[in-house]
Structure 1
Amino acid sequence: MNLTNAWKILKDNGFKETSKRNQILELFANDERYLTARDLLDVMQQDYPSMSFDTVYRNLATFVSLDILEETELSGERHFRMQCESDHHHHHFICMDCGKIKEIPVCPMDLVGSALPAYEIANHKFEIYGKCPECK
Structure 2
Amino acid sequence: MNVQKAITILKDKGFKYTTKREDLLSLFAKNNGYLTARQVLETLKPDYPGLSFDTIYRNLYLFEELDILETTELNGEKMFRLSCGTNEHHHHFICLDCGKTVALHACPMPSIEAKEHLDKFEITGHKFEIYGKCNHCIEHPVSS
Q: Is TM more than 0.5 here?
A: yes
TM-score band, normalised by shorter chain: over 0.9
- Matched residues, percent identical? 55
After TM superposition, give the deviation of residue 87 of structure 1 in Å.
4.8
After TM superposition, give the deviation of residue 85 of structure 1 in Å.
2.3
Please, which of 101, 118, 124 is the counterpart of residue 122 of structure 1? 124
1:15-40 CA distances to partner (integer Å, 9 max, x unpaired)? Answer: 01011111100101111111111111
Partner of 1:86: 86
SS for the counterpart of 2:78 is strand
1:38-77 matches, within 5 Å, as: 38-77=38-77
Rounded Cα–Cα distance in structure 1 between residues aligned with 2:106 and 2:45:
40
After TM superposition, give the deviation of residue 134 of structure 1 in Å.
2.2
Aligned residues: CA RMSD? 1.2
Rounded Cα–Cα distance in structure 2 between residues aligned with 1:130 and 1:75:
13
**Structure 2 unaligned blocks of 5 or more:** 139-144
Rounded Cα–Cα distance in structure 1 between residues aligned with 2:57 and 2:81:
14
1:88-127 CA distances to partner (integer Å, 9 max, x unpaired)? Answer: 2111110110111112121011112223112221111111
Rounded Cα–Cα distance in structure 2 between residues aligned with 1:49 and 1:119:
51
- Stretches of 4+ moved more than 4 A in 1? none
1:98-113 matches, within 5 Å, as: 98-113=98-113
> Which amino acid in the other structure matches residue 29 of structure 1?
A
> Which amino acid in the other structure matches residue 131 of structure 1?
K
The yes-or-no answer on 1:26 pairing with 2:26 is yes
Size of the alignment, in residue pairs? 136
SS for the counterpart of 2:86 is coil
> Which amino acid in the other structure matches residue 71 of structure 2?
E
Rounded Cα–Cα distance in structure 2 between residues aligned with 1:67 and 1:87:
11
Rounded Cα–Cα distance in structure 1 between residues aligned with 2:52 and 2:75:
22
Rounded Cα–Cα distance in structure 1 between residues aligned with 2:3 and 2:113:
35
1:62-94 CA distances to partner (integer Å, 9 max, x unpaired)? Answer: 000111000011111111101112352111110
Rounded Cα–Cα distance in structure 1 between residues aligned with 2:84 and 2:59:
19
After TM superposition, give the deviation of residue 13 of structure 1 in Å.
1.3
